[in-house]
Every structure is written in C-alpha cells, then in structure tokens.
Structure 1
Amino acid sequence: MLRQRVITAIVLLLVLASVLASPWQQAWPVFLAVVSGLAVWEWLRMTSRPMPVIGWVGGAAVILGLIWQGMLWQGAVKEPVGLSASQGSQTLFLLSVALSSAVWLMLVPMKLKHADVHSAAGLPVWGLFAPVCLYATWGALVVWMDQGGIWLVISILALVWIADIFAYFGGKRWGRNKLAPAISPGKTREGALVGLNGVIVWMLVTSQIPGSYAEQVLELYGWFLLILIAALLGAVSIMGDLFESLLKRQVGIKDSSNLLPGHGGVFDRIDAVVAVVPLAYLITSPSLFQ
C-alpha cells in the first residue's frame, strides 16, 4: 500500500509540474477543470447513489463548462452575443464565491454539529452545492495564477497542507480528546489545535514574503486580523475534511472513488482545498460586490 501511495504521489507531482511548466496558456485552467469535474463526479456519486448517471452528467458538464469558461476569460473564444465576460461569467463566479463561503461558514458547521452518520437524509440537497463550490474554487485558483503566479497559489494551498499535516502529527503526539468521534475517530482536539497553530505560523512567516497570500491579508487587515483569519482558514480546512468524511460515513464507503491508487479519490485529496479557497478569495477581495 505504501509503495502504491508513493508511486501515485510521484505521478501526480509530475503531472502538476508539467502543467505549471507548460507554455500553453490554457494548461492550468484545463487541468483544474478536469480535477474539478472529477471531484464533482465523486461528490454526486455519494449524494445521488440510486442514480449514478447524475454523477457522470454533472462531472462532464463541469469539465466542459469550466474549460469553456477559462477560454472565455482568456480571450480564446468569442463571448456569446449579449453576454459580457465581465458582467456575466465574472458575476456568476463572484456569486459562487460568496455562496460557497456562506455555506462553509454557516451551514456546514450546523451539519457537522448535528451529524447523523447513519442517515443519508438531505444528501441530494448537498449534491447541489458540489458544482457551485468547485466552480468557486476553480475560478479563484485561475484568477490567482493569472494575477499573482505560482507562489501566490502555492502559499494558500500550503496553508491547507500544513493544517492537515500538523493536525495529524499533533494528534499522534498529544491527542487525547476526540474532535468528532462519530465522523472521524482519528481526529483529536489537540491535533486540530496544533494544526491551527501551524497555519498561524505559516501566515505570519509568509506575510513577510512578497507575493504571498498572507502578504495580501496583512496589507488589507493588519497583524491582529491576520492571526484571526489564519485561525479561521485553518478551522475551515478541518471542516472541509470532516464534511467529506461525514458524506462517506452516511453512504457507507471508505473513499470517494479509487481513481488515485493508494489515495482514494480526487475529492479525498482536495476536500479541505474546496472549503478554504473560496473563503480565502473572498477575504482578499473586500470590494467584491461594491
């Protein structure tokens, strides 16, 4: 199993490196579109299990729609008659960012608090959230890459990775009290606290590095709010992981799919990313709807 995980991880890193190094302008948006579509397919497989065709149709529609959207934003295709990219697709993207952020901040915590791992009631409704959330995530990462480059994107994704890694090892070392035993028995409150502190340290350190996400936050809000925002994003990262774990518990599966040998599915790998990215984008866009 370990050998399989390592091989898969190496392949994924090579694919990502190839995308980032590609001279083709559409490489990054298309790559993210495929990743988003596969995650939507897995998400919908869990929330509409009696009708698997919904997952296939939803995933394919997201891939094709996002590829077209990326080409539209970068001028590779003509805008439809009567639709301005700035007034149409951009507005739709910004609305998806706001809606995703609101759901992760208000509805997901309530779902986790009152979680029933033995009931699949309400899952189809959560399936409707999948394309909205993945669209917001895709758009934010595309815009960040276009405006700030690789370092800006990596600086925010690293926040998610640090929250996960620090929480895991912190829980191994000091974990005593379960965070959400019915949803994810391996997670502890102590581990979560270590993860949050890891994110805060990362944001404090990278705020001094030009072009980072934390630098933007610091310029907008100052040191005190930087720390609070870091803690908030760290907490949302943990919620993203717990949310997907709850979906899997409710439908009785271990992984969202077996697309990535040794790692499970695409959604398993980006569950925290799709929770953090829309909110992180909203935070650094205070004039979003002015």
Structure 2
Amino acid sequence: MGTVQVNSIKAWLLAARPKTLAGAATPVLLGCALAYAEGRFQMIPALLCFLFAFLMQIDANFINDYFDYLKGSDREDRLGPERACAQGWITLDAMRKGIALTTAAACLTGACLLAYGGFEMIPVGILCILFAFLYTAGPYPLAYHGWGDILVIVFFGFVPVGCTYYVMCRDWTWNVTLASLACGLIIDTLLMVNNYRDRDQDAKSGKRTIVVRWGAKTGQRLYLFLGLTAAWLCLLFIPTGHIWAALLPQIYLLPHFMAWQRMVKISKGKELNSILGETSRNMLLFGILLASGLIL
C-alpha cells in the first residue's frame, strides 16, 4: 500500500472505498432505466439520486470503519481491504468530523430531491441515514446480528430503485418491484462473499452473520442462489412486454456461476478478495444488462 500520511487526501480516498460505489450506482441506474422506458426520465433528479447514493455509500463506509474499529473487529488477521482507523491513516476525531460532513452533504442533496419527490421523501432519507448508523453502531448493531442481508435487499434494492423512479414518475409499478428485488438480491451476493471470506474472523468478533450461524456450505449455496434467483426473476418482465429486460440478464448467469465455482475452490483466505472483485464486476454487468433491456 505504501506510506499513507495521517488524515491525507489519500487516506480519505482509501477510507471512502471507491470500488464500493458500483453497489450504489447500480440501483439508481435501474431506477433511471425504468423511468426512461416510460418516457419520464429527468436528468437533474437522476444526477441528484446518483449523488445521494454515492454520499450515503461513502458515509456508510466511514461509519463502518469507525465503529468496527471501536468494537475491535478490525484486527491484525483481517482478510478484507485495510481500514483507515485501524491502520491509523485517519484519527478517530477526524473520522467523526468526516462522518458528520458526509451525512450533512447527503441531507442537503436529499433536500434538493424534495422538489421532485415531495415531502414523502423525508422519512425515506431519515431511514437511510438512521440505518447507516444502526448497521454497526449502537447497543444492537444490525450487521453483528445477521440482519445485513435483509438490509441490503431493502436499502440497495427497494429504496434506491423505487425512490429514483418515484422522484421522476411519482408512481410505483410491478416492474419497479421486480427490478428492486432483483437488484437487492444481486448486490447481496457481494455481502455474501464478503461474509463467507470473513467467517472465522467474524465468529471471533461475535459478528453473527448468516455464514457464521449456518456455516460455510450455506454461504456457498446462498451466493449461487442469490444470483440465479435475481436473473430468473427478470423472466417475469415478459408479461409486461419487456422481452429484452427478461433475456439480457440471463447472460449474467455464466460469469456468476464461474465466480461461484472459484469461490468454492478457494474456500478460505485473502485469495477470496479476487472473488469479491469478480462479484462486483458481475453485479455491475447485471445492472447494465437489465437497464439496457428496460430501455430497449
């Protein structure tokens, strides 16, 4: 990694974890595609939705970095990307200020969206910020009690896909529900491989993820199941006339199956980070394929 100066721009970029922004962009992309398919796409609210999603993802990364460090989860045996607080790249005081600033920026962006989505967007924005903290903070951190997968489906599926569509169309349709669920399941593959890699360390830290509770074999099967289900759900677009939205996502199945095979073969250790990278690329591929299908 080389030398990272304390509280430097490089340190903040590493803490923001820009590679995770694909997970924030994919749902908004799908929401935009759904609106475009109905001839109701609007550029300004689309850009605001992307900005809000990026800010919330970075905020969540900062919050997780800070509170996982305080809980002692980021130990020397960590297999995932190095964390800024644990490495001493960012001081705890600076991280608190970074979290406050990013949260404020997300709130300001969300306020701008009220002009398009109405005041009903306020409780949604509050819930986004609240659960960004509740994920790893507080007396009952949700990620430590196996709620991570449900939260991903809600806050990386239904909330961003549905709200992006809503601020442009002021409506909710069957296609929105379908795309939201498929998107949430796809993004959960990223959490699943992350938890599969960290299962031994999470068990020591008292982090009771699904993989820790039910075992590595369950993690393998769920990873495969999530991708298959998301792709096959898209076949339900056929009755609504979106043939390409049903067919194009099936292309995703091949790289997903190949990543699953390698995941099972590697089984343990830092080498699983390569599967994390593949899963992220596959997730973005799925989003592009489904969005293209909806537009076509």
TM-score of the superposition, structure 1-length normalised?
0.36
* Higher helix proportion: 2
